Structure 1
């Protein structure tokens, strides 16, 4: 089933409002998040809002890996791999200073397993990040079980519009 943009926008607003209430988010200074594609929880306005009071990091696809860069406003974005807007600022490598990582996925399960788009970008990045990891998704992306391998990094929480915080 396909959902309309207005429905996805409303669901995204509910999910991000819950994320804002999460105690780890509230205490966080440095946050890794993603610049959303049309079928993901819509993060564009959220990024702009919180970039005024928190350091926001966005991933940039470089060959077969993700690099992190600091978001410094919409003027610093350029269209990168897969049509995703990516920041052009300096490379960010102080992974230990990241307080929270907000991660997209195609599907999640209650055990915190995540199914990505199949390229393994986050599988390579997440082992280097000790931060609290929150998967955010639409309710229809929650499934009974996501196939998982030993190397897969679990999310510490999954936030959807039906999550209780």
Structure 2
């Protein structure tokens, strides 16, 4: 998408409002039900199957719910969760729900413990977003936490969203990091 920074910012603001309205039509329970086949599809992605260390996210109420998914896979893979620290995201190992505390921003539960420094061991990063498009562009909340982090990580980047968050085109600028793949619907089994 070409255009001035102001035009792109205005377009992002418009898309965020539209997606917020769409998300508000679903209760948390409905979002959990809608997320199940999408998370099942994520489990079929070859990069997920092969991954030993996966960076997931502890979902906020308006994101595709991941709490049960994180807990399920923490028994088989090392799960890393991002923690908001100032303008950046620190990474910490998920070691159980009882070891999560409310983070400094957004009220997201985050792991306690040392910062995970072995970033080169992360095989897959699962990233939330407000909207994605068919060219693997991602639009976040506008704070650039993930964009700053993803610049320094070489792992496979996988966007995760509901189908209504998948648009023809999202407004992007030079700082927005593309995903390698986006999971947003049921994957057809490979024959």
Give the TM-score normalised by the residue count of structure 2: 0.83
* Residue 61, structure 1, aligned to residue 81, structure 2: no
Structure 2 partner of 1:146:
170
- Is the 8 Å Cα contact of residues 138 and 179 (structure 2) preserved in structure 1? yes
Deviates more, 1:79-88 or 1:149-158: 149-158
Q: Match of 1:35?
A: 58
SS in 1 for 2:37: helix
How many residue pairs align between the two structures? 165
- The 8 Å contact of residues 41 and 186 in structure 2, kept in 1 or not, is answered as no
Deviation digits for residues 88-115 of structure 1 (CA, Å, limit 9, x no counterpart): 0210121111100000000000111111
Alignment RMSD (CA, Å): 1.1
Gaps of 5+ in 2: 1-21
Distance of 2:188 and 2:87 partners within structure 1: 36
Aligned mates of 2:116, 2:58 — CA distance in 1: 16
Q: Tell me by how many angstroms 1:151 deviates.
A: 2.9
Q: Which has the larger radius of gyration?
A: 2
Kept in 2, the 8 Å contact 1:139–1:162? The answer is: no
Q: Does the Cα contact within 8 Å between 1:12 and 1:138 map onto a contact in 2?
A: yes
**Cα separation, 2, equivalents of 1:96 and 1:5:** 35
CA distance in 2 between counterparts of 1:120 and 1:102 reads 16
1:162 Cα deviation after fit = 4.0
Distance 1:158 1:60 in 2: 22
Q: Unaligned stretches of 5+ in structure 1?
A: none
Query: 1:163: how far off?
Result: 4.1
Aligned to 1:4: 27
TM-score (norm 1): 0.96
**Residue aligning to 2:113:** 89
